[in-house]
Amino acid sequence: MSEGLLYFKEVYDVVPGWVQKMHDYSPNALDHYTNLRSNIMQEGALTKKEKDILLVGMNAARLYERSMVYHTKGAMDGGATLPELVEYLIVSYLYNGTKALKTGIKSLEYALELKGIRYPEGSGHKETTEEILLYMIELLGDEETGFVSNVLKLVKSGDQNSLKDYILSDSVVSKRLKHLLMTGIFITELKGKQVGEWMEVARVNGASEEQLAEVGLICLLTAGIPAWFEASDSLIENK
């Protein structure tokens, strides 16, 4: 088995079909991609776990279930907790509303499968934001559910400003990482103006330029080189 195939088998336990096909059609391309991914996902200004779980949130926001699920495994292998995962998934609600939460439920269900926890399969019948949040609380079981419960109360209140402020506040996940996630969401969606705005807010909330750059690089892995174009436009030049 080639080095590229071995790398992805180690990451995902199996060789994904898209990896096998890249190897079959262009083993050289797979080798270059493997080296790029390995370098971007290594420990740096952000930990590997943080990079994986940020990608979970980004892909939930843009409704891209396949990549979200792949990175859920990476996040859980890296030590992410279920309450952490849920907070990242709820941040995605600020971008794509109920659709993002409904996509995100697949990540939480998969995380439970990885932990060997049985759960009542009901995500397909949850349509409203309130129903999905209640289902998240159910799936969390004995884990901490205070954050989700407070989000549910704010959703019911209809106070959108307070809801946004609370979702982006410090809890199990820091507001710094939540603002990095929002930055990454707009990078993957190639919305440069908003990228710059969210980068500024992320800086105010403690994000370093190195962390912002690493968010741009992990976005490249899931949304291609145009994502790096959008990120680089708003990064401060490293002299």
**Model confidence pLDDT, tens digit, residues 38-62:** 999 999 999 999 999 999 999 999 9
> Which residues, 6+ apart, have CB-to-CB distance to 69 below 8 Å?
106, 107, 110
Residue 127 CB neighbours (<10 A):
10
pTM of the model: 0.94
Question: Do 114 and 56 touch, CB atoms closer than 8 A?
Answer: no
Any alpha helices (H) in the chain, and if so which ranges? 3-12, 17-25, 27-40, 48-61, 65-77, 82-91, 93-114, 129-140, 146-157, 160-167, 175-188, 192-204, 209-223, 225-234
pLDDT more than 90, % of the chain: 88
Q: Are residues 90 and 164 in contact, defined by beta-carbon separation less than 8 angstroms? A: no
Q: 66 in helix, strand or coil?
A: helix
pLDDT tens string 176-191 = 999 999 999 999 999 9
In sequence order, the 6+-apart residues with CB closer than 8 A to the CB of 85 are 53, 56, 72, 75, 76, 107, 108, 111
Residue 93 · residue 100 · CB < 8 Å:
yes
Report whether pLDDT(122) > 80. Answer: no
